[in-house]
Amino acid sequence: KNEVEQSPQNLTAQEGEFITINCSYSVGISALHWLQQHPGGGIVSLFMLSSGKKKHGRLIATINIQEKHSSLHITASHPRDSAVYICAFTGGFKTIFGAGTRLFVKA
């Protein structure tokens, strides 16, 4: 079993839809990161969280430490949200990445 599992692998949504991407992990962590990788390849760090919930604009990230699960939500999705979303956790000195969720938002 991979230490971090993301779902879904691919997601197509209509503009305006509410989107949820999930990330489950199997080991203790000190922090969980959500990254966005644009079609051009650049990577942007969206959130780093170790508990609770964070919000930035239309993006919301939550984490449940007991259930070892995090979600990334996008409200009122837009075609410019089309990207690969990657969760990663840091535990000790390790950083482990999920395989990513490829999101395509249609206009």
Partner 1 sequence: DAGVIQSPRHEVTEMGQEVTLRCKPISGHNSLFWYRQTMMRGLELLIYFNNNVPIDDSGMPEDRFSAKMPNASFSTLKIQPSEPRDSAVYFCASSFSLRVRGEQYFGPGTRLTVT
Residues that bind partner 1 (CB under 8 A): 30-31, 33, 35, 41-45, 48, 50, 86, 88, 90, 93-100
Min dist CB 106 to partner 1, Å, is 25
Smaller CB separation from partner 1, 11 or 77:
11
What is the DSSP-derived secondary structure letter of residue 69?
E
The residue (of 77 and 101) whose beta carbon lies closer to partner 1 is: 101
Chain centre distance of CA 30: 16
> CA-CA distance, 59 to 68, in Å (whole number)?
20
